[in-house]
Amino acid sequence: MINRPLAIAAALLLLLLLPLVLQGPYIRHLFILAFLFAIVAASWDLTLGLTGLFNFGHIAFFGLGVYTAGILTTQAGVDPWLVIPIAGIVAALAAFVVAAPTLRLRGIYVVLVTFAFSQLCLQVVMSQGDLTGGAGGIVRVPSLRISDYNFARDQRLGYYYVSLVLSLACIAALVAIARSPLGKTARAVRDNPEYAAARGIDQMRIRLTMLVISAIPTGIAGALYCIYFRVAAPEVFSFSTSTLILTMLLVGGAGSIVGPAVAAVGIVMISEYLEQFPDLKATKHMLLAVGIILVLRFFPGGLAQISANLFARSAKTVGATPERAP
Amino acid sequence: MADIIVSILVSGLVLGSLYALMASGLSMVWTTLGIFNFAHGVSMTVGAYVAYEIAQRLGPDLWVGYSILLALVVMAAVGAAFEYLLIRPFYGRDDMVLVTIMTTLAGLTFLENGVLTIWGPRLKQLEPLIPGNISYGLVNISRQELIIVLVAPVILLALFLVLNHTQIGRAIRAVGQNQKSAQLIGIPVTRMFLVSFGLAAALAGLAGMLLAGVRLMTPTMGADPLMKALIVVIFGGLGSIGGSIGAAYVIGFLEAILIFTVGIYWTPSMLFLLMVLVLLFRPQGLFGAKNPSSL
């Protein structure tokens, strides 16, 4: 009974009109955060979910984006608009660096190297205090401007639309990649590496391509995150950030790209709501951890699986067979 | 010059002993269950805090060693409970390696924040087993560090003897080598998982309790040792407990040397670079078998 294109169009229209209805800067702030994390979660899903690459250092690309923006704008005076694409390039370069030792490895060793890489980034940021501000981070990052229009003084309306457009563009690109022959090849590598190799698929090339592609939107999101908050703090590399995004990925459904992006919106709302109570900061992370375990245990396909069932059920009335979700 | 070399040797020995305690448990769980336990570092934190709590309850008159012994029992139970809740439900799934990475990461977040909630962010310290320092010639070492250096090989030797010469140890290794055959000859496989998780948590906990007598305790104290244990098992090859222990001492000394030469800030990057080089040329680890397991 549910019409997919119509539902998507309605959701987009709603997102475009939402800030006109919701006037408060706080609710807009929640959506900005949600859009940025949606990019990170969806692009992580491209490697972890779709390609089956055990990449646990994805947060490093985000953190590098944050610090690229912070360092270039405050120390080199680069325009904040320009920094956003630069951060994407820096993250892509970092992906090459991580790829060098990981591509020949399999399974758990990939996890160890990528994870160690993200911890290494944190340690470098902490130790290079002159450049990164160490534990204190970088403050007073300049805000976005269009000639005289300052994005910091418009009740967050400008940032809402910038992050919405960026996030829609990134997610549309990621979905297009997932549906392209490249995405299908990646899925083949994940589901049956031996058969994929037998069919002449170069696994190393696919994994490298996917890792680099997934790093670009993440770096971009990191840069906008930095410019929006006007600070770059080492917490972006932490376990907590990783866990938060992993929760989005799993709740949304690994391998579905759109699922994690949708889940990001809900999880940011819950997480930020709990943020109001400073005493509950640790409890919040504990709840997220329990959430991960419960989802893995009882809903391994996440929201995407649930919605696929929903669509399948409505399609069944016209005789279609339900599609098997990844 | 001589005093610098001696102090490098001493600090390398102390670090190596701690890493060996950590890495042996990590490697044992990997060989038995095929699971990489990211919560291994936080077991160290929990161990230290549990010992602290027990020591507080028992009062300052009682020697801290008793608290540590009690805490070790608690840690074995914590490890077993961890396996029961976070690992067992996912056993036999195709994507078990990946799923358990996520559940152990979730367990890490849960326990770390749990420690923060219960004991707060304030720095704490456990009484050293024997207070004071020892100076002998150029060697200057606190008694607690000396205990770490001496206890670690004893514990690791005991672990080696248990794994090789007792029924339960052989059963654990049998499960690691071939789970189905082990089951066929009547080894209770799931109980062995419970035992190895409990043992690993107790080993990590011990490392934490000993460290808490030298350094201050924080809820995130396990993060850096986990990172080091991770580098250690990559160096040593994940599948080999002996290799991991050897690598732990190598990394300990390397770290001590690097801290003196390139400084504390660049040491992690240098270690990471070394790890990358090892992986590029010997993906099975320095001491690992030629034929690494498929995962």
Contact A250, A299 (CB under 8 A): no
Tokens of A179: 């549906």
Contact A189, A207 (CB under 8 A): yes
Identify whether B110 is part of a domain.
yes
**Which residues of chain B neighbour A283 with C-beta distances below 8 Å?**
113, 117
**Which residues of chain A neighbour B222 with C-beta distances below 8 Å?**
none
CB contact under 8 A, B105 and A297: no
Identify whether B43 is part of a domain.
yes
Amino acid at B174: A
**Which residues of chain B neighbour A106 with C-beta distances below 8 Å?**
294-295
Q: How far apart are CA A33 and CA A41, in angstroms?
A: 12
**Which residues of chain A neighbour B23 with C-beta distances below 8 Å?**
none
A109 — contact with chain B (CB < 8 Å)?
yes
Q: What pLDDT is attached to residue A313?
A: 57
Identify whether B257 is part of a domain.
no
- Domain count of chain B? 1
Q: How far apart are CA B101 and CA B26, in angstroms?
A: 13
The least confident of A156-160, A223-227, B32-36, B285-289 is B285-289
- Tell me which residue range forms the domain holding B169: 21-220
Tokens of A294: 């419960």
Q: Is residue B291 pLDDT above 60, yes or no?
A: no
- SS3 string of chain B? CHHHHHHHHHHHHHHHHHHHHHHHHHHHHHHHHCCCCCCHHHHHHHHHHHHHHHHHHHCCCCCHHHHHHHHHHHHHHHHHHHHHHHHHHHCCCCCHHHHHHHHHHHHHHHHHHHHHHHHCCCCECCCCCCCCEEEECCEEEEHHHHHHHHHHHHHHHHHHHHHHHCHHHHHHHHHHHCHHHHHHCCCCHHHHHHHHHHHHHHHHHHHHHHHCCCCCECCCCCHHHHHHHHHHHHHHCCCCHHHHHHHHHHHHHHHHHHHHHCCCCCHHHHHHHHHHHHHHHCCCCCCCCCCCCCC
Question: HSE of B292 in the Cβ direction (CA atoms, 13 Å)?
Answer: 22
Give the count of Cβ contacts less than 8 A between chain A and B.
115
Closest CA to B233 of B7, B4, B36: B36
Q: What pLDDT is attached to residue A323?
A: 40
How does residue A320 score in pLDDT terms, banded at 50, 70 and 90?
A: very low
Token pair 């549309």: residue: A172
CB contact under 8 A, B109 and A285: yes
Tokens of A111: 């996890």
The least confident of A122-126, B42-46, B287-291 is B287-291
Identify whether B280 is part of a domain.
no
Contact B225, B19 (CB under 8 A): yes
* Length of chain B (residues): 295
Q: What pLDDT is attached to residue B286?
A: 67
How does residue B238 score in pLDDT terms, banded at 50, 70 and 90?
A: confident
On average, the pLDDT of chain B sits at 87
**Which residues of chain B neighbour A105 with C-beta distances below 8 Å?**
279, 283
Sort strands B133-136 and A149-150 into parallel, antiparallel or unpaired.
unpaired
Provide the angle, in degrees to the nearest 10, between the axes of the packed helices A80-102 and A58-75.
Answer: 140
Q: Is residue B292 pLDDT above 50, yes or no?
A: no
Identify whether B225 is part of a domain.
no
**Which residues of chain B neighbour A123 with C-beta distances below 8 Å?**
268-269
Closest residue to A54, CB basis, from B98, B105, B231: B98
Closest CA to B256 of B276, B270, B241, B239: B270
**Which residues of chain A neighbour B295 with C-beta distances below 8 Å?**
106-108
Q: How far apart are CA A81 and CA B101, in angstroms?
A: 38
Closest CA to B151 of B26, B55, B13, B11: B13
Identify whether B176 is part of a domain.
yes
For chain A positions 126-155, those within 8 Å of chain B (CB to CB) are 127-128
Amino acid at A244: L
CB contact under 8 A, B268 and A124: yes
Q: What pLDDT is attached to residue B60?
A: 82
Identify whether B262 is part of a domain.
no
A100 — contact with chain B (CB < 8 Å)?
yes
Which residues of B lie inside 8 Å of A (Cβ-Cβ)?
Answer: 30, 36, 85-86, 89-90, 97-99, 101-103, 105-110, 112-114, 116-117, 223, 227, 230-231, 233-234, 238, 264-266, 268-269, 272, 275-276, 279-280, 283, 294-295
Q: Is residue A322 pLDDT above 80, yes or no?
A: no
Closest CA to A261 of A232, A223, A302: A302
pLDDT tens digit sequence for A173-212: 999 999 999 999 999 988 888 899 899 999 889 999 999 9
CB contact under 8 A, A106 and B294: yes
A103 — contact with chain B (CB < 8 Å)?
no
On average, the pLDDT of chain A sits at 86
Closest residue to B107, CB basis, from A250, A282, A289: A289
Nearest residue on chain A to B232, judged by CA atoms?
A112
Q: What pLDDT is attached to residue A2?
A: 63
From residue A293, alpha-carbon distances to A107, A243, A268, A288 in Å are: 21, 11, 18, 9
Q: Is residue B290 pLDDT above 70, yes or no?
A: no
CB contact under 8 A, A285 and B238: no
Question: HSE of A254 in the Cβ direction (CA atoms, 13 Å)?
Answer: 25
Contact A270, A251 (CB under 8 A): no
Contact B104, B39 (CB under 8 A): yes
pLDDT tens digit sequence for B144-177: 999 999 999 999 999 999 988 999 999 988 888 8
CB contact under 8 A, A286 and B233: no
Sequence-ordered list of residues with C-beta below 8 angstroms from that of B193, at least 6 positions apart, any chain: B32, B33, B83, B87, B88, B175
Token pair 């069944």: residue: A316
Angstroms from A67 CA to nearest CA on chain B: 18
Angstroms from B48 CA to nearest CA on chain A: 19
Mean pLDDT of the region B174-199: 90
CB contact under 8 A, B101 and A124: no
Angstroms from B106 CA to nearest CA on chain A: 4
